[in-house]
Structure 1
Amino acid sequence: MAPNDSTTTGTTAGGSVGRRKAARYIVPVAVAGVAAATIGLVPALASSGDPELPKIGAQELIEKIAASDTQRLSGTMRISTDLGIPSLGGLAGAFTGGEGGPGGRGGASADPKDRMTELVSGTHTLRVAADGPDKQRLSILDDAAEYSLIRNGDQVWAYDSKSDTAYHATADGAGKDAGHRSGKRSVPEGVPTTPKALAEQVLEAAGPTTSVTVDGTAQVAGRDAYRLVVKPKQSGSTIGSATIAVDAENGVPLKFTLLPSSGGKAIVDAGFTKVDFAKPDASLFTFTPAKGTEVTEAQEDEDGGKAGRSDGTKGLEGLEGLVPGAGQLGAGDQGVKGARVIGEGWSAVAEFKVPGAAGLPGKASEEAPAEARQFLDALGDKVSGKFGSGTVFKTRVVNTLMTDDGRVYVGAVTKEKLVEVANGAS
């Protein structure tokens, strides 16, 4: 089918999607945090032919996504992510003390905030299921093991079959082990794990600086789909384009591919290999730990949980792609306090000052464990200009310039753009 030539600047039913800012900046003092906030993704799936479908405009297709009310589905997805950072395997041990550190048997942990970051790199197979806004399940499949994150009403369970450890939280934040409060959030925030969650983030950011077109059709997991292509109009962004395969019948995004502006391998490819929109079996959303399973209860903060309550719903944004609204629970503002945004759209850069952070990149590298130093050195490039000197920590998506006097510039822009912005702000 010939590509449709209609375009839009990102308006959707109910108003402009550009009115909501989806760009959220995170200080990558530990760059793994930046990566974790941009994960949840899956590889391009081979097309079995381009189906003949009625023509549709970009505006109409965006509205179709927004209006999709699919409440039930189950299926298998593959996740492939290449953020251009070194492998994280073993890095966690460098910061937590390795096998002797916290986390259950032999350092193993079923806590989602520890396990979901596995999706930052490499290729993974996932099984997903949803039945309404209160029942979701996501499983990461390994060669001989499975890690599952399950929500059923106000109960959240995670289970790691390899270590036979489980994690439990309740949506009301009532951590049952009040005697051991660590102040840690129970589930990582902002981890999209389905094409729908990824598509919504991109479309929320669309505006006058964005080109959105319908570029033909495709088949994904045996379903006919339209291809929605989102591209920055500006130069300097690390993002080249995002392609979303949208189910022609129900408007559910089936596949998401994010390409870098520099060309080459996709940053993220997310898609279903199998999908079924029938009601999943109720047993998928129930979990009872077997005798002998080590269970960790969610913990509240030292202040009683008032600031950063561990309610078990943080990070369920990762399940929002399964059904609308699932990620609204616990959704918080991830913006950096006191940040000044320079520019707009895809080339926007956040500038802020880190108190007491003068010389931080160098100091952090000197004091970090050997594996962490290797990780930081692989990410950092020394740069200088009117702003002075500093270090650019780079991934294929988010780059950060930390100056030697403690200023930070961060955005989904190239290293050259960061230096240009820092020079102009000096």
Structure 2
Amino acid sequence: MAPYETDDSAKADDEADDVRSGRHRAARYVVPVAVVGVAAATIGLVPALASSGDPDLPKVTAQQLIEKIAKSDVQQLSGTVKITTDLGLPDLGGLASGFASGAVKGDGGSTADPQSKLMELASGTHTLRVAADGPDKGKVSLLDNAAEYSVIHNGKDVWGYDSKSNEVYHATAPESADVKGKAPHDVPATPKDLADEALKSVDDTTSVTVDGTAQVAGRDAYKLVVKPRQSGSTVGAISIAVDAKTGLPLKFTLTPASGGAAVVDAGFTKVDFSRPAASTFAFTPPKGAKVTEGDDHKGAGKTRHQGPDKAFRQGDKTLPKGDKDLAEGRDGVKTIGKGWSTIAEFDTGGQGVPSGAKGSSGNSDVDGFLNSLGDHVTGKFGSGTVFSTRLVNALITDDGKVYAGAVTKAALVKAADAAH
């Protein structure tokens, strides 16, 4: 069965080929599911597509809509994006964001570093102001009560400014063709970013359909729905509102297979496709601000945070066929399976989460707290702990092996048993 479903009762084989071609072009043109990293693994929104009446638009197939996204060439825009994340994590009273800031500061870094600051998008509801003028000028501002954080890309310069701490981060923009035109950070912040990651996951394990129309930020849009065909995935469906005129993704909603509120929902509340004023991208460090010089990105395309999230992206690649569809990834990371059921496997080289009353930390209170956050499981592999969110789950075995992915706990245990 072809990976795309349309409203037509019959499909030609050459149409399926066109769809796949359109999919690859879409992945090239659309700029980040991540919270992969923070992104593919950690973002989500609550309400369904905002609509003030379904507009009457010409009928299109899934193939035509994906090709429309691929051909979209929006160079200038400005607007406001609302993004909400609901991973179902316990409220740690700002501990996570505080730890991230402290870690950066401890490394001699800056609270204005985009790599740490934009991690705040991994939870809660946030409002962003965005602007772009071609591939070399872009701005994303995170609004937070009386404070504001901005990332500005202007030519060869990337600036990060935190008004709360009055700190500035400066780096040289990458010049590689692989990264040119992308936002100056690794965290998906707009519907376009998120749609890119979702479209990369489309293959023969995926159903893609057109599900009517909607109005988003005053614009007529089509709704593209992406669903896993495979069992065991925690992803229920992804809905992308595509601007009927420009082909730009205006809203992205990821709902979990378990139901309830969306895990990821990011959408424009206002959007303008006219050229932003040049002053939008101008930046001079304020008087008295602490300025930290960052990496010059000579290794274009590389991120400073190398972790399991990279393995999830490897699921986009075609894996060798076999009983387990097992392939060796970079940095010792392996991927098990394919498509939406891909699981990353790697070895920490040490002990897993302590399961006894007094484990590796030597502190029973700390060990007890760690165990309270996960579920103890056993199998042919031995025993371990599964840490769960509403989207991404990870099994850490007592001997230090890690199995992680947007799959159910049962799927992780099965993978660990098979690898035993």
Which of the five TM-score ranges fits, normalised by the shorter chain?
0.7 to 0.9
1:14 aligns with 2:21: yes
How many residue pairs end up in the alignment? 375
Indicate how the Cα distance of structure 1 residues 214 and 100 shifts in structure 2: closer, same or farther if over 3 A, else same: closer
Contact 1:110 1:166 in 2 (8 A): yes
Q: Deviations over 1:237-266 (max 9, x none)?
A: 000000000000010000000000000110
- State the partner residue of 1:38: 41
- Quote the residue 2:380 is aligned against: 386
Which deviates more from structure 2 when the two are superposed, residues 164-173 or residues 225-234? 164-173
Q: For residue 145 of structure 1, what is the aligned residue in structure 2?
A: 147
- Report the more deviating stretch, 208-217 or 93-102: 93-102
2:350 to 334, 345, 357: 357
For residues 61 and 368 of structure 1, the distance between their equivalents in structure 2, rounded to whole angstroms, comes to 57
What residue number does 2:127 align with?
Answer: 125
- Is the contact made by 2:156 and 2:173 (CA closer than 8 Å) also made in structure 1? yes
Percent identity between matched residues is 57
The letter for the 1-side match of 2:340 is: W
* Runs (5+) with no aligned partner, structure 1: 27-31, 174-186, 316-334
Q: Is the 8 A contact 2:33 2:39 kept in 1?
A: no
Q: Does 1:86 align with 2:80?
A: no
Assess, with a 3 A threshold, how the Cα gap between structure 1 residues 365 and 394 changes in structure 2: closer, same or farther. farther
Superposition RMSD on alpha carbons, in Å?
3.8
Equivalent in 150, 156, 159 of residue 158 of structure 2: 156
| From 391, 411, 416, the counterpart of 1:422 | 416
Higher mean alpha-carbon deviation, 195-204 vs 92-101, is at 92-101
Q: Counterparts of 2:75 and 2:340 in 1: how far apart (Å)?
A: 32
Tell me which residue corresponds to 1:342: 336
The CA deviation at 1:138 is 0.1
The 3 A distance-change label for structure 1 pair 92 and 275 is closer
Number of the residue aligned with 1:236: 232
Contact 2:138 2:153 in 1 (8 A): yes
The superposition leaves residues 224-283 of structure 1 with CA deviations (integer Å, 9 ceiling, x where unpaired) of 000000000111100000000000001000000000000011000010000000001111
Equivalent residue for 2:398? 404
Q: Is the 8 A contact 2:23 2:66 kept in 1?
A: no
Does 2:243 correspond to 1:247?
yes
| Structure 2 counterpart of 1:52 | 56
Q: Residue type of the partner of 1:209? A: T
Query: 1:82-231 alignment to 2 at 5 Å?
Result: 82-87=86-91, 89-94=94-99, 101=106, 109-171=111-173, 190-231=186-227
| Matched-pair contact (CA < 8 Å) for 1:246–1:254 | yes
C-alpha contact (below 8 Å) 2:384/2:398 kept by paired residues: yes
369 and 283 in structure 1: CA distance in 2 versus 1, 3 angstrom threshold: farther
**Could you tell me how far apart the structure 2 residues matched to 1:404 and 1:242 are?**
35
Whether the 8 Å contact between 2:253 and 2:265 is mirrored in structure 1 is: yes
Deviation of residue 424 (structure 1)?
2.5
Deviations 1:93-114 (A, max 9, x none): 457769995678xxx7111122
Q: 1:147 Cα deviation (Å)?
A: 0.4
Alignment match of 2:73 (pick from 69, 85, 94): 69
User: Compared with structure 1, are the counterparts of its residues 231 and 371 closer, same or farther at alpha carbon in structure 2 (3 Å cutoff)?
Assistant: farther
Are the aligned partners of 1:10 and 1:208 in contact in 2 as well (CA < 8 Å)?
no
Determine helix, strand or coil for the equivalent of 2:262.
coil
| Larger RCO (alpha carbons 8 Å, 6+ apart) | 1
Aligned-partner Cα distance in 2 for 1:197–1:134: 16
The one-letter code matched in structure 1 to 2:351 is A
How far does residue 211 in structure 1 lie from its aligned partner after superposition? 0.3
What is the one-letter code of the residue matched to 1:399? N
- Checking the alignment, whether the CA contact within 8 Å between 1:91 and 1:372 is kept in structure 2 is no
Which structure 2 segments of 5+ residues have no match?
176-182, 305-328
Q: Is contact 2:354–2:367 with CA below 8 Å preserved after alignment? A: no
- Structure 1 counterpart of 2:79, which letter? G
Residue pair 1:10, 1:206 contacting (<8 A) in 2 also: no
Shift of 1:86: 2.8
1:245 aligned counterpart, secondary structure: strand
Task: Report the Cα offset of residue 150 of structure 1.
Answer: 0.2
Report the alpha carbon displacement of residue 130 of structure 1 after superposing the two structures with TM. 0.1
Measured in 1, the distance between the counterparts of 2:102 and 2:365 equals 12
Q: Determine the C-alpha separation between the residues in 2 that align with 1:188 and 1:278.
A: 22
Is the 8 Å Cα contact of residues 94 and 371 (structure 1) preserved in structure 2?
no
Instruction: Supply the distance in 2 between the matched residues of 1:99 and 1:369 (Cα, whole angstroms).
Output: 27
Question: What's 1:279 paired with?
Answer: 275
Give the Cα–Cα distance (whole angstroms) in 2 for the partners of residues 171 and 351 of structure 1: 33
Q: Distance in 1 between matches of 2:365 and 2:76?
A: 43
**Equivalent position amino acid for 1:293 in 2:** A
How far the C-alpha of 1:378 sits from its partner, in A, is 5.2
Distance 1:313 1:348 in 2: 22
Compute the displacement of 1:136 (Å).
0.3
Q: Partner letter of residue 128 of structure 1?
A: V
Q: 1-side partners of 2:248 and 2:359: how far apart?
A: 44
User: 2:25, 2:362 → 1: CA distance?
Assistant: 41
The letter for the 2-side match of 1:415 is K
